[in-house]
Structure 1
Amino acid sequence: MPLRPHTPPRPWCPLSDAEWLALYPHLIHRSPAGRQVGDLRARMDAIFHIACTASPWRDTPEKFGKPDTIARYFRRLTHGGLWQSLLETLVALDDDDHPLRRIESFITRACRRAHRILGLGFLVLIRRLSIRSALNGPPWLLPDPDLSERLMRYFWPAIERRDMPAIRLLKRLLRTTAGKKSIPRSVRLAWP
């Protein structure tokens, strides 16, 4: 499946009533147990604000509450599967005017942060759903486990024949599919 084009970036603004009502059903099942969240909508606004500005959590504006509390809630939602659910919902939506479509940019930016927590499995899901703007960098610099599996199937006969030139080529290709160990911050920030 080819990667979808980038979601046009949208500057952060608080969630509208329609956007909140579309997002709320996804939150209610994944909201972590424990003390009640005072204003869930403000907390999601804070998460999207930080995701869109690419600022560290400590730069959360005071009106949203304590930065540690916001970051902890983001981690809990991430471990609860919120971002995977939202990405799958976005792919399934046929209506381009759906309220979740309007905040797709916010969701994909938050997914970039969630990738740090969820790791390679989340990256594989993003690739399989073909949501390019949720990737944490250019696709050619990120690992691609599906491609490495396809390469192994293709080169397996050469490996059994002990064809050394083919094996050397396979090693080089597998190193490429493993992605870069780290992507420079300047490249990540320049990635739309």
Structure 2
Amino acid sequence: MRHFTPRRPYTPLTDEEWAVLAPHLPHTDPDATAPGRPLTESRRARFEAMLFACVTDTPWTRLPRHHGAQPLSVAKHFRRLAHEGVWSRLLEALIDPHCPRLLKAMEYWVCRLARRAMRLLGMQGLGLAQRLGFLTALPQLPWFLPNLELSRALWAHAKEIVETMLEDPTWRPKRGYLNLLGRCLVIAGGRAVWQKRFAPP
């Protein structure tokens, strides 16, 4: 069911919340030079820093020092996790019938983490969030984002019109119809630039 997730302000993770989140995160450090180098205390500190940045909408460069990780290192780690599909898998975990209560309670936080990653995830990430119904994970309100299904339908219709015109040179659609179809395609393509004022609550 499509919905906007109620806001939940950032608070430091409890040990119980970290125990629920940790299994969804890689157990090795992707930034390490030696393959398979285990993450120790920095694993939780990095996640805390990422969570703080995403929930409070803080730029990476302005992360507080007390989170114990370098801002650029945190940003790099966040991008790696996005490319590994961590944020997408966390969204999917939320709809699992056996989703732990504590993880479900962190839905707003997970949505904000996924939202920050949407430029990296692209259409696949947008489609996943919309399909699962997590509107808060979207970087813009749904009606400002690309609608892949509508775009495909409109392009298929445009192709039919062109093929009909090629087969029968005397046939033309009604005056203004192609212009209307073009405007519909622009709308289906969403806003070219994402703006924070159109972001979900």
TM superposition score normalised by structure 2: 0.82
Greater CA radius of gyration, 1 or 2?
2
The amino acid across from 2:39 in the alignment is: V
Whole-angstrom CA distance in 2 between matches of 1:51 and 1:115: 12
Please identify runs of 4+ aligned residues in structure 1 that moved more than 6 A.
none
The amino acid across from 1:37 in the alignment is: L
Of stretches 157-166 and 130-139 in structure 1, the one that deviates more from structure 2 is 157-166
What is the match of residue 23 of structure 2?
25
Gaps of 5+ in 2: 166-171
Q: RMSD over aligned Cα, in angstroms?
A: 2.2
Aligned identity (percent) is 36
**Superposed displacement of residue 46, structure 1:** 1.1
Query: Which of 123, 134, 144 is the matching residue for 2:137?
Result: 134
Are the aligned partners of 2:82 and 2:117 in contact in 1 as well (CA < 8 Å)? Answer: yes
The amino acid across from 2:10 in the alignment is: W
**Superposed displacement of residue 183, structure 1:** 2.7
Query: Which of 174, 197, 200 is the matching residue for 1:186?
Result: 197
Gaps of 5+ in 1: none
**Superposed displacement of residue 168, structure 1:** 2.8
TM superposition score normalised by structure 1: 0.86
Query: Which of 61, 65, 80 is the matching residue for 2:84?
Result: 80
The amino acid across from 1:144 in the alignment is: N
Residue 15 of structure 1 pairs with residue 19 of structure 2: no
What is the match of residue 169 of structure 1?
180
Residue 110 of structure 1 pairs with residue 113 of structure 2: yes
What is the match of residue 60 of structure 1?
63
Are the aligned partners of 2:112 and 2:137 in contact in 1 as well (CA < 8 Å)? Answer: yes
Number of residue pairs matched by the alignment: 187
Whole-angstrom CA distance in 2 between matches of 1:78 and 1:12: 21
